[in-house]
Structure 1
Amino acid sequence: MAAAVDGNILKAHLAMAVQQLFFAGYHVITKVALDNGVNQFVFCMFRDLVALSILAPVAYLREKRTRPPITRHLLMSFFFLGLTGIFGTQLLFLLGLSYTNPTYAAAVQPAIPVFTFLLAVMMGTEKVNFLRYEGQAKVGGTLVCIIGAALIVLYRGPELVGYTDLNFVANSDLSARSQPSPYEWLLLELGLDRFRLGVLCLIGNCTCYAVFLSIMAPVLKRYPANLSVAAYSYFFGALLMVGTTLLMTNGSTDWILTGSEILSISYAGIIASGLNYGLLTWCGKFLGPALVALFYPLQPVASAFLSLIFLGSPIYLGSVLGGSLIIAGLYVVTWASYRETQATHGVIPFLSQASEPFIDKDAPINKNSYQGDSGSSRSLSNP
């Protein structure tokens, strides 16, 4: 049994790595479709409908005998998963991508674990003890990630790799519509240009995804049918997206799709949505939200590389420096979380400022100084 669990954990790690590569390809393919003029709302709606048409029958056939009964509380949870992880996340990402570029869109994604950590602290599901090195490392790593994200937004710097194509830049600065929509006019009147508007949308995308991951973990414990969770989430997300698209689109021209746009929607619906969200919910059962979020720093590397090859988008010094800080801070937070988990189970001792990390096992120990977050006392000599 233990070997089977270890095997599933290894498969989950590999699946999350592959998922980030698929997401990086989605960044590039979608940017091309947006620059060609596809409407963001129409793109999201068709993407969700394609994903739902795949997830729903697969979930029904594979889990119809194993999934628990649906309750009103579960339906409400599925609605919030669809609202944050499908509707809010996808729409804000598409809007942000249309006003920036794939490299910047992927560079903001590593902030998802930071937002997830901050949300968990505010909700009380994550505890920080400032008297232990693990707690200090969590706070310090979070601050480093925030500084890295701010550096990416505020500082571009010289080009390190690639070249600036003026035609490409001009097309990247245009939204999918030739004229701003009403909400864009309001933000532009407040002094926000399209690039900063895109950054705000990408930050909102990360916030929605952090909420989605925080809600998904307890839902999977109560309803361990991961494909059904993804299908129900996409049902509510697609429902919200259809209503929003009908309200926000003008004229029949928004619904006309070219061959390349249909190909982009197919990739987004089948690979980036159906397959990736199915993998995400499955991996969440074995890894948890913290480790799932850990893999998102792989997106900037893969996306920048694919953007350089297929779009000619240059890589700037600010992106490299900011991305390095985000990844460094992220791994500090992850290291601290891992040590706390091991110490809580008695595998290793807590690193407290009040004691030395290495203590003779026969020396007297004040057990009160090793109170865990769960409230149970432990000693180093008797884990």
Structure 2
Amino acid sequence: MENNKLVEDIAVIGGLVAVQFVYAGNNVVLSYLMSLGFHPASLIIITSFATFVVLSPLAFFIERVKWPQRFSLKLFFQLVLISLGGVTVFQSLLLKGIRLTSPEMGTAMPNLAPGLIFVIAWACRLENITISCLYSRVKIGGTLLCVIGAVTMSISQSAANPPFEEDTGISSPFPFSTSEFDKEKIVGCIYLMAAVFVLSSMVVLQATTLSAFPAPLSFCAITSLIGVVITVAGELIKVHPFDEKWLVLNIRSRDLIGCSLLAGLISGASVSFNAWAMNKRGPVLVSMFSPISAVITVTYSAIFRHPVKFGSIIGMFLMFTGLYFVLWAKGKETVVTLSSSATTEPLLS
């Protein structure tokens, strides 16, 4: 029995680390594909459809007994809204942000999500805050640390390099005569923060929707497919129906399509494993591994792309510290809730 538990622990921890490597590599690959001219909408469509292809068979064999007897209009509306926000809008903003900033920013910024989810859930009265409670104060402090870290990273990433020092090695006598910040990177950071806000809002809505549709794999597969339909419809509205340049330009290479499909397939497999690990060990443990992908991407960037700015490292440290404060408080709060036999359970537990 103990041997089985040890093997399961090794499988969970090893798998969660591997998933973070996948997430880090996925952002690097997506950034590379966009640098080759691949349209973000094409990436969303191909990867989301591949996720649906991977998850739908698993959902059918594992979760069909959990499917609701009938889909109400309210449930259908919730699924469409989550697909619009969580697939189309979130991924569009995320890809635009990565294209304007860097893959490491794209992997670090989503660590804001637990703090934002906590704030949104509290605003919707799904989370309780008691100032006299230590865990509530820690959650508030951790959320503020996450925000400060994100702002620090954004400022550091947006700071433009002095042109004289970078190109000729000669320092400029007027260091502030040119623009101090890269406007594209500032816009990219705003895109990433907006993406995390949209994602956090959708997670809060998803938490309430899963009570009526308690099948996470099926839920992810359905929202991926609906997201594909919404993204295609949106592109057809933005682009003239007879002008297929946005698609033809980007699917001329089989290699590019293959990379996108592979990213979607791996993403589907990662989602499936995370769902299994969450069922075995809970969401708090799974969430604690999320900063690893940012560290991996930063390491890759420092080795193969460009040196990482010191301000980015400080900002990332603040974000990770705040994240673990929030998760620690949530874990302790869950233990207290269960031990006191409370009738309601906090959203993030």
Could you state the TM-score of these two structures normalised by the residue count of structure 1? 0.73
2:231 maps to what in 1? 241
1:306 maps to what in 2? 300
* Bigger Cα Rg: 1
Q: What is the RMSD of the two structures over their aligned residues, measured on CA atoms?
A: 3.4
Query: In structure 2, what is the Cα distance between the partners aligned to 1:128 and 1:79?
Result: 31
CA drift of 1:75 comes to 2.1
Decide which of 305, 326, 334 is 1:341's aligned counterpart: 334
2:173 maps to what in 1? none
Task: Kindly indicate which of the two structures has a greater share of residues assigned to helix.
Answer: 2
Query: In structure 1, what is the Cα distance between the partners aligned to 2:273 and 2:70?
Result: 22
CA drift of 1:208 comes to 2.0
Contact 1:307 1:313 in 2 (8 A): yes
Contact 2:153 2:311 in 1 (8 A): yes
Question: Secondary structure in 1 aligned to 2:330?
Answer: helix
Contact 1:41 1:244 in 2 (8 A): no
CA drift of 1:373 comes to 7.7
1:103 maps to what in 2? 104
Query: In structure 2, what is the Cα distance between the partners aligned to 1:6 and 1:68?
Result: 36
Residues 1:285 and 1:243: Cα distance change in structure 2 (over 3 Å) = farther
Paired-residue identity, %: 23
Letter in 1 for 2:292: L
2:77 maps to what in 1? 76
Can you give the 5+ residue segments of structure 1 that lack an aligned partner in the other structure? 159-163, 167-190, 348-371, 376-383
Could you state the TM-score of these two structures normalised by the residue count of structure 2? 0.79
Q: Does 1:270 align with 2:265?
A: yes
CA drift of 1:10 comes to 7.9
Query: In structure 2, what is the Cα distance between the partners aligned to 1:223 and 1:14?
Result: 30
CA drift of 1:319 comes to 1.2
Query: In structure 2, what is the Cα distance between the partners aligned to 1:193 and 1:135?
Result: 37
Residues 1:41 and 1:110: Cα distance change in structure 2 (over 3 Å) = same
Query: In structure 2, what is the Cα distance between the partners aligned to 1:330 and 1:210?
Result: 14
Contact 2:158 2:183 in 1 (8 A): no
1:1-383 aligned within 5 A: 15-72=15-72, 73-156=74-157, 193-249=183-239, 251-254=243-246, 255-256=248-249, 257=251, 258-272=253-267, 274-285=268-279, 292-309=286-303, 311-346=304-339
Residues 1:332 and 1:346: Cα distance change in structure 2 (over 3 Å) = same
CA drift of 1:80 comes to 2.6
Letter in 2 for 1:134: Y
Residues 1:16 and 1:217: Cα distance change in structure 2 (over 3 Å) = farther
Query: In structure 2, what is the Cα distance between the partners aligned to 1:321 and 1:62?
Result: 43
Query: In structure 1, what is the Cα distance between the partners aligned to 2:282 and 2:203?
Result: 9
Contact 2:135 2:333 in 1 (8 A): yes
Query: In structure 1, what is the Cα distance between the partners aligned to 2:9 and 2:195?
Result: 27
Contact 1:229 1:281 in 2 (8 A): no
Query: In structure 2, what is the Cα distance between the partners aligned to 1:49 and 1:55?
Result: 10
Query: In structure 2, what is the Cα distance between the partners aligned to 1:62 and 1:80?
Result: 25
Query: In structure 1, what is the Cα distance between the partners aligned to 2:20 and 2:104?
Result: 14
Residues 1:157 and 1:44: Cα distance change in structure 2 (over 3 Å) = closer
